[in-house]
Amino acid sequence: MARIYPGLYDNYDDATRAVSDLRAAGVPEDDISVIAYNADDRYTPAKTDDASPAGTGATVGGVIGGGVGLLTGLGVMAIPGVGPVVAAGWFASTLAGAAAGAAAGAATGGIIGSLTEHGVSEDHAHVYAEGVRRGGALVTARGDDTLGERLDPIYRRTGAVDPVARGKAYRSSGWSKFDDKAPPYTAEEIERERRLYKRAAE
């Protein structure tokens, strides 16, 4: 089974740069995905009458910029505990299938379950889901055990969050794990989170 190598970003521009760099490093487009918080309607699907794969790519490009313009499977959906997200790539299909399931938290299970089933620790998976809830973007690449060595420098230079440090920061304020029954963050809370971690990075 292929492993999943995630990178969490506070800055969406950095996430799209990571996607571009992953493609440039030879990671197949079918193995790259991105999920981004979208309760503030920052990424709105471009209108297109073209139902072809090329049309889908154009739509994704209109939503989240040239860095993800060639990824397919755009989804705009609401995830319990997170709120509205946009997702492109293979993970979008995973989440769309989960969201159609009977369980109310199925889409959330799609994020955490898909990560843990492919080699990501449960602790880190909860941090990644919480990171999206707090306004972030999650980039994932899947591949064999050797892929991680190629991806680490890409994630580092594009500003990916350290999940250990971020989990510690979340827990310092009372957080323990991602809760799909918690109310999604408001736009004001998201902006506060973005300012907080922007200052921490400076």
pLDDT in tens, the chain (202 residues): 688 999 999 988 899 899 999 999 999 988 999 988 887 666 655 444 443 333 333 333 434 444 444 455 566 777 778 888 888 887 766 666 655 554 444 445 568 887 888 889 999 999 999 999 999 999 999 998 888 888 999 999 999 999 999 999 999 989 999 998 888 888 888 888 888 887 666 5
Number of Cα atoms under 13 Å in the Cβ half of residue 190 = 25
Under 8 Å between Cβ of 22 and 154: yes
Q: What is the pLDDT of residue 71?
A: 58
What pTM value is reported for the model?
0.81
Q: What is the pLDDT of residue 38?
A: 83
Q: What is the pLDDT of residue 149?
A: 86
Exposed, middle or buried, 112 (CB in 10 Å: 0-12/13-18/19+)?
buried
Q: Percent helix, strand and coil across the chain, each rounded to 5?
A: 50, 15, 35
Q: What is the pLDDT of residue 134?
A: 93
Q: What is the pLDDT of residue 162?
A: 96
Both tokens assigned to 181: 């029954």
Q: What is the pLDDT of residue 125?
A: 95
Q: What is the pLDDT of residue 100?
A: 55
Instruction: For 85-127, write each residue's pLDDT tens digit.
Output: 888 887 766 666 655 554 444 445 568 887 888 889 999 999 9
